């Protein structure tokens, strides 16, 4: 589970909006530094910049 450090507005159709302070499940880490994941709040999936989120320790 990852925590969004910053808000991110999607630039393309396959991207996921990030909301600062919300939790996201990362499904895949891409070579280019982008992550594929799902919002725990909305259930929506997409790609987003990996440097916008940080791992949450359980």
- Kindly report whether the global pTM for this prediction surpasses the value 0.85: yes
CA 43/CA 32 separation, integer angstroms: 24
Three-state SS at 27 = strand
Q: How many domains does the chain have?
A: 1
Of 39, 44, 45, 47, nearest to 4 by C-alpha is 39
Confidence at residue 35, expressed as pLDDT on a 0 to 100 scale: 98
- List the structure tokens of 3: 């925590």
Q: Residue 50 carries which DSSP code?
A: G
Q: Which residue, chain included where needed, has tokens 């393309």?
A: 12
> Residue 20 sits in a domain of what CATH number?
2.30.30.40
Confidence at residue 57, expressed as pLDDT on a 0 to 100 scale: 77
pLDDT in tens, 2-48: 999 999 999 999 999 999 999 999 999 999 999 999 999 999 999 99
Confidence at residue 4, expressed as pLDDT on a 0 to 100 scale: 98
Domain range for 49 is: 2-55
């Amino acid at each position: 589970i990852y925590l969004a450090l910053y808000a991110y507005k999607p630039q393309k159709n396959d991207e996921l909006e990030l909301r600062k302070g919300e939790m996201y499940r990362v499904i895949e880490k891409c070579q280019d530094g982008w992550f594929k994941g799902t919002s725990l709040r909305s259930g929506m999936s997409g790609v987003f910049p990996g440097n916008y989120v940080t791992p949450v320790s359980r």
